[in-house]
Structure 1
C-alpha cells in the first residue's frame, strides 16, 4: 500500500544571507509577516511598503530524509508559485513556471538538502514577454505572460501583492509495482440509473511492467453499494459501474444533494492493495440551452431536465494570499452565499482554480459552480512556452475537478473576446496571437476529450459566435458595466439580456472593517487611507454620482455618506435583479459582481474583506428568494410582478395600499394572484391604487406572505419624507447571552431603516438589512455577538440606526 508523508515542518525561507522559519503550505509574504519583517499589507498604505517582496528571488530549504522499503519515492508539489527550480543535494530535479499545476519528481533513494528557488514573477514575465512580444492589457502589470493568479498583480478591487512560495501541500509518496496516476469519473444518469464510467491510467515501476493488475470500484450511498471490477496489463483501463435507483443531485432550492462515495482500489494478486482513490460524486444531468428564439439566442441552465433561473454571484480569491484560505473559511463564505439564496457561484478567471475543499462545500450546499479557465482582461500570447503550460494546466484541473457534481460549466475566459472587439486591441496586435486559439480551439478540445459530461462556453461575455457582438445582450452571456460606470441604476431596466453574467455597484466596507484597516485615520470619502483602499478608476466619483442622483450628497458627514453608499449599492443590484427576474424565461440568470473581497476595500462585494455582511447581502437574500414580489416602473405606471421560482404554485393574496407621505392610507385593494411553478404573474393594478405620476407625497405598497414591494413615483431627494420617528426597545434572547432583539416601532414612514451592527460591537451581526416601515409597524432585528443587554444599550443601538430621512 502506498505511504504518504506530508512535508510541512523543517523548512527555512532564505534570501541572500538571511534565513527565517517557513511554513508549508504558505508563501514568502506569510513567512515574512510571521517573522514581523514586513507590516500587514492590508493596513493603511503598507501595500506600497512591501512591493519589493514580489521583485526578489527567494529560496525554501529543508533537509530531506526518508527511509522506505517501497520501490519508488516521489516528491509531489501540489502548487508552486510560480517560476521555480528544484534541486536535491545540488542536482536539479526540474523547473516550473505555472502556479496552477501539480508537479511530481522521482527521488527514489536520494536524500540531502532540498531547495526550491523561486525567481521573481516579474523577471519570469519579462523573459516570456521577450520571447512572445507585447500584448495589450487593461492593467499596467505583466500578468498575461506568466501562469499565475492574475489579480495578485492588482485589480480594481485588489492590492498588488505578488506572491511566491509553496502555496499548496508538499509530500513524499512511497509506492511499489504501480499507482493510480489518473482517475477520470464520467458520471451520468439515465432515468433512474446512475452510470459511472471510470477512465484510469496507472504508472508502473520496472517490476510492475506488464504485470496483471485489478481495479475495483465501489459506489456507496443510500445504504447500498454498487461495484465493478476490471483487470488489465497495460497502462490504461476502463471500468463501468451502474447504480440502480440513483437519487438525483439538485441545485439548492430545487431538491436535495445526495452524494455517493466513490472508491477506486488498485490491486495486485501478490501484494494486495497498491493504491486507493476516493471522491464524492452526485448523479445529475446538466445542459446549457443556447438555442435561437424570437428574442435572439438564449443561455439557460437545464439541470435534470428542469430549466433554471440562475441566482448567482461572482467569486474572487478570498485572500490575496491564497495559502491562508482554510477549509473552514471556504465553508463560512459559501454558507453565507447559500444564506443569500444564491444557487450558482462563478469562479472568476483572474483568480485560481480553488482548493478541493471549495468544491466539496458547493457539492454539499447545492451551489452550482461555473468555472472559468484562468484568463482575464488581457490579450494572452499563444506561443511557447505559454501554450504548453496552458494545455497542461487545463488537463490537470479538468481531471482534478470533474468528479464534483456542483461543477456545471467550463468557461474559456473573462472578457477577452469582448476586449478584442471593443478595447482597441486589434490594431496594436497587428495579427499577433491574443488567446482566441485557446478559447475556440485548445480548451473546448480538452473539455470534449476529458469531460464531455459538461457544457463549455468560449468566454463571458460571449454571444456564441463572431456573427454577433461578443457582449450583445440578445445573445448568450452579457456583462452590464455601462450603468455603474456612467449611468443611474434605473438604467438596468432599459433592456433584457439573455443571461447577465456580471453587473454590480460599489459600496465601502463596514465601519469596523475600515477602523481596523485604517487605524487612527479620520475617515472621509477622500481621506488618504480611504483613497488607497479604493482601487477602481474614479471609484469615489462614481459612488458620489450614484448617491447624488437620489439623495443630497452629504458634506462633511462620513457616517451618512457611508450609509447612503451602502443603500445605493443594495438598491442598484436589487433593481437589476427584480427587473431581469420579472422577464424570465427570456432572461435566465444573473451573476452579481461580486460575493467576496480579498482584503478590506471599497468594492462591489456583498461581504467585505473582514467577512462582515454589507446591506447588499441581506438584499440578495430577498431578491434571490424563491418567491419575490416586485413593483417595477412601467411606461404607464408601476407593474406588479409576482415571481415564483419555486417548484410549487404560489397563491398570493396581494394587499395593495396607496399611502400618503404622512402614512395615511388613501386607497386599498386585495388581489388574488396565482403564479405557477417557475413563472411570473403580472396582474393589472386597479387604477385607483396607482399614485399620480411625479407625485412627491404618495407611494404604493404591496404586501403578500411577509414580502413587501414599494413604488415611489419620484426619487428620494424629491419625495416629501417626514422626519423619521421611531421607538426602540431591547429584549433578551432566551438561551443566547450575547444576542439581543432590537424592536423598532415606527411612528412615521421610515424608509430603508438600517442597523449597522458593527457600530454596537465589532463582532456583532444583524439578521436583517434594509427595512421600510409604515406608521405603527414593528420590526424585530436580532443582533448576535454584541454582548447582550447593557444599561446604555438603547443609546448604542440608536447610534447604529440610519434611515433615508434622519431622526
Structure 2
C-alpha cells in the first residue's frame, strides 16, 4: 500500500546567506514576517516597505535522508509531490536538477527513488519570469500596470482595485513523499449523473506502473452507497460504472438537503497474496471522495426577452442568490479549513446559494469545495484569467492546458460545482476596452475561452456546463455585456450614477455588481494604528485601491445625503448605509422580475486585507451592514417597495395615477416551496408618525414566483410634501411569531425629507445565555430610519445579530450583541447611528 510522508517540517529560507525557519505551506512574506524582518504589510503604509520582496529570487532547502527515498521490497518507487509551487522554480536534489516549474496552479511530481541529500527549491522573481515570457510573446493590453498575464500565478497578488501589491513566492501548498510499488492510481475521474431517481457514477481510472508492475494483473474496485464494481485493467486504464437506485438528491441551500455518498476506489494487485496465501489481496493504492447526485442544466435558450441564463437544478429553475469570492487572504497559505468553513457558513446564513470563485485568484483548496458541498452552496468556478489579454503562445499555452486538466479532474467530484467559466471580463475587454485594435491580430486568450477550455471540459467533465466568460452574451452576435443576453456585469451605476439606476433594466443574469464602503471601525483602528481617521487621511487613502474610489463614494452619497463635514463617524455610517441600500435596490428589483432575471451575484463577499471595498464582510471578518441586508434581500420571502419607473419593464410611464404622477410598486417575492399567503399592511405615514391612510392587501404568491403590483393610489405618498413615506409590513409566514418583514419608500431623497430629530430610549439587558452577551432594546419616540448598532465600537470582538432597522414612533426592536460584557447604555448609545435631519 502507498505510504505518504508529509514534508512540512525542516525547511529553511535563505535570507542573504542566513537560513531562516520556513513554514510549509507558506510563502516568503510570512516567513520574513515571522522572523521579524519585515513589518506587517497589511498595516498602515507598510505595503510600500516590502515591495522589494517580490522582486528578489528566494531559495528553500531541506535535507532528505537516504532512508526517505531508498527502494525496498515494499516500496520500489518514491515520488516527491508538490501540490503548489509559487511560481517559477528550479527543484534540485543533491545538486541534480529534478525539474522546473512555472505555474502556481498545478501539481508537480518528481521521481526521487534512491536519491537523497539537500533538497533545494530556487524561486525566481515573478517579475523576472513575467518579463522573460513577455519578451517572447510581445506586449498585451492590461487594465493594471502589472505583468500578471505573462505568468500562471494568482493575478491579484500583483494588486487589484481592492487588494495590495504583494508578489509572493514559496511552497504554498503541501509537499510530500509518496512511496509505492507495482502501480498507483494516477488519476480518477468520476462522472456523476442522476436520471429518474437513479444515480450513476462512471469512473475513468488511469494508473502508473513501475517496471515490475507491467507484468502484474491489476484490478480496480469501486464502491458507493453499498454498490460495488470491479474491472481488470487492460493496459493502464479502466472504466467502471456504479448504478445506485433511488438515490437521495443533493439540493442547493433552501431547496432541500445535501446528502453525500462516500465513493471509494481501490487498486489491487491480483498477483499479490492475501495473508492466508491466496492471490488477489495486494492493495496498492486507494482514493476516496464524497459525491452527491443532482442534475444541473444551464438554460440558455432564446426567448422574447433575449437569451436566458437560468440554472435548473433537479428540474427546478432557480433564481441564484450569489456572491463573488476572492482569495480570503493576500497570502492564501494562511487560509485554514476552519477559516473557509466559517466564511462559507456565514454566506449560507445570509441565504446565499451560489459562490463564484473569481478568475483573478486561485482554484481554492479542497476544503473550500467540501464546505460548499455540505452547506448547499453552488460553486461557479472561473478558469484563472481576468481583466487582461493573455498570450496564447508557448510557454503559456502548455501550462494553461495542463493547469485546466489538473483542476477539472481535481474538482469534478464536488456536487456543489455547477459551472466552469472561461474568464473574467476578457471577452468584454477585447470588444469594448480598445484591445482589439491595439492587438492588431495578436493572440489575446480567445483561443483559450472559445476553443481549448470548452474542449477540455467536454472531454473530462461533460456533465457540467461551460460558459466562455463573464460577462458573455453567448456569441459575437451581441455585445459581450448586453443585459438581454446571458451574463451581465453592471458597473456603470457604481462608476457614474445613482444606485437608483439599477432599476433601469432587467438583465437576464447579473454576475457582478456592487458598491463600496469602508470596513468596520475596529478593523480600521487595527489596520491604521495611531492614525486620526478621515476619509482622506494617509492610511485611508492607501487602503482605498479603486480608481477615483473616494470621489465615487462621495458622488453616491451626495445623491441621498448632505456630506458630513469633519465628522468621520458620520461619514463612516452613511457610506456603509449607502452601500447596503445600493445593493439591496438592485437585488430587490431584479428578484421581483423573476424569471426574466434569473440571478444576482454580488461583488463581493469577502476581502483579503483591511480595505475600503465592495465586500459585505471586511478583511478582519467583521460584517458590514451590507451583510445583514443580504440576509434580508436573499431570504426566501422578500417584501419590497420600489419607485414607479417612467420608462422600463412596467411599461411606458410605469405605474402611475391618472394625474401622471408615479405610484410606487409593491413587489412580493416567494422563493420558498410553499405558497405565501401574505397580508400586507400598507401605511401612508407623515414624518411625525401620523398615519394618513392604511389598508391591508391579501396576496397569495405561488411557490418560486414573484408578484408586482402598483400601490393603491390613495396610499402613495405625496411627492410635493417631502413629509410622507410609505411603509409595508407582512409576516414572513403564517405561523405565530413569524418574522415581520418591513419595506419603506420615500418619494424624495433623504436629504430632502423632513426627518424629525430622532429620539429613542435604550435598555441593556443580560442575554438569557449570559456569557458576556447582552440584548439591547431600543424604543422609538419618533421616526427612526435605518438604525444601526456598530457593535465593534463596544469591543473588537462584539457582534450584533441585526443590521439596519426602521422604527415608527412607539415601536421597539431587540438587538442581540455577543461578546459585549459590561456594555452600558451610554456606550451603546454612542455605538448607535440612524438617519438625521439634513
Output the TM-score relative to the length of structure 1.
0.98
Aligned-partner Cα distance in 1 for 2:386–2:197 = 40
Query: Contact (CA 8 Å) 2:229, 2:242: kept in 1 or not?
Result: yes
* Greater CA drift, 342-351 or 419-428: 419-428
1:669 to 692, 695, 706: 695
Aligned-partner Cα distance in 2 for 1:16–1:731 = 58
Partner of 2:619: 609
Tell me how many residue pairs correspond in the alignment. Answer: 800
Task: State the Cα distance separating 1:735 from its structure 2 match.
Answer: 2.1
Query: Contact (CA 8 Å) 1:370, 1:409: kept in 2 or not?
Result: yes
Partner of 1:13: 13
Aligned-partner Cα distance in 2 for 1:218–1:134 = 51
Task: State the Cα distance separating 1:226 from its structure 2 match.
Answer: 1.2
Aligned-partner Cα distance in 1 for 2:770–2:191 = 47
1:187 aligns with 2:187: no
- Once the two structures are superposed, the pairs formed by residues 360-371 of structure 1 within 5 Å of their partners are 360-371=370-381
1:281 aligns with 2:272: no
1:803 aligns with 2:803: no
Aligned-partner Cα distance in 1 for 2:574–2:776 = 22
Task: State the Cα distance separating 1:68 from its structure 2 match.
Answer: 5.4
2:631 to 597, 618, 621: 621
Distance 1:68 1:723, change over 3 A: farther
Partner of 2:260: 259
* Greater CA drift, 628-637 or 568-577: 628-637
Query: Contact (CA 8 Å) 1:71, 1:176: kept in 2 or not?
Result: yes
1:393 to 395, 403, 422: 403
Output the TM-score relative to the length of structure 2.
0.95
Partner of 2:179: 174
SS of 2:189's equivalent?
strand
Partner of 1:353: 363
Partner of 2:433: 423
Partner of 1:238: 239
Task: State the Cα distance separating 1:15 from its structure 2 match.
Answer: 3.4
Aligned-partner Cα distance in 2 for 1:415–1:737 = 48
Partner of 1:688: 714
Q: CA deviation digits over 1:529-580, x for unaligned, max 9?
A: 0000000001000001111110010100000000000000000000000000
Partner of 2:516: 506
Aligned-partner Cα distance in 2 for 1:687–1:489 = 25
Aligned-partner Cα distance in 1 for 2:270–2:464 = 37
* Greater CA drift, 680-689 or 311-320: 680-689
1:470 aligns with 2:471: no
Aligned-partner Cα distance in 1 for 2:219–2:244 = 21
Aligned-partner Cα distance in 2 for 1:392–1:694 = 65
Partner of 2:115: 110
SS of 1:459's equivalent?
coil
SS of 1:397's equivalent?
helix
Query: Contact (CA 8 Å) 1:463, 1:469: kept in 2 or not?
Result: yes
Partner of 2:660: none
Task: State the Cα distance separating 1:47 from its structure 2 match.
Answer: 0.2
Aligned-partner Cα distance in 1 for 2:360–2:770 = 42
Partner of 2:276: none
- Once the two structures are superposed, the pairs formed by residues 32-431 of structure 1 within 5 Å of their partners are 32-65=32-65, 66=68, 67=70, 69=72, 70-220=75-225, 225-271=226-272, 272-431=282-441
Partner of 1:439: 449
Task: State the Cα distance separating 1:210 from its structure 2 match.
Answer: 4.1
Aligned-partner Cα distance in 1 for 2:206–2:643 = 59
SS of 1:619's equivalent?
helix
Aligned-partner Cα distance in 1 for 2:215–2:611 = 59
Q: CA deviation digits over 1:220-276, x for unaligned, max 9?
A: 3xxxx1111111131100000011110000000000000000010111124311001
1:577 aligns with 2:569: no
Partner of 1:697: 723
Query: Contact (CA 8 Å) 1:211, 1:233: kept in 2 or not?
Result: no
Aligned-partner Cα distance in 1 for 2:172–2:714 = 64
Aligned-partner Cα distance in 2 for 1:582–1:676 = 13
Distance 1:800 1:132, change over 3 A: same
Partner of 2:650: none
Task: State the Cα distance separating 1:693 from its structure 2 match.
Answer: 2.8
Task: State the Cα distance separating 1:684 from its structure 2 match.
Answer: 4.2
SS of 1:395's equivalent?
helix
SS of 1:158's equivalent?
coil
Aligned-partner Cα distance in 1 for 2:54–2:720 = 57
Aligned-partner Cα distance in 2 for 1:715–1:396 = 53
1:772 aligns with 2:806: yes
1:649 aligns with 2:653: no
SS of 2:765's equivalent?
strand
Task: Supply the RMSD in Å over aligned alpha carbons.
Answer: 0.9
1:458 aligns with 2:468: yes
1:590 aligns with 2:624: no
1:710 aligns with 2:741: no
Gaps of 5+ in 2: 273-281, 645-653, 657-662, 732-739
Task: State the Cα distance separating 1:685 from its structure 2 match.
Answer: 2.6
Query: Contact (CA 8 Å) 2:590, 2:597: kept in 1 or not?
Result: yes
Task: State the Cα distance separating 1:806 from its structure 2 match.
Answer: 6.9
Q: CA deviation digits over 1:449-498, x for unaligned, max 9?
A: 00001000000000000000000000000000000000000000000000
- Once the two structures are superposed, the pairs formed by residues 749-764 of structure 1 within 5 Å of their partners are 749-764=783-798
SS of 1:157's equivalent?
coil
Query: Contact (CA 8 Å) 1:695, 1:713: kept in 2 or not?
Result: no
SS of 1:160's equivalent?
coil
Aligned-partner Cα distance in 2 for 1:227–1:255 = 28
Query: Contact (CA 8 Å) 2:300, 2:310: kept in 1 or not?
Result: yes
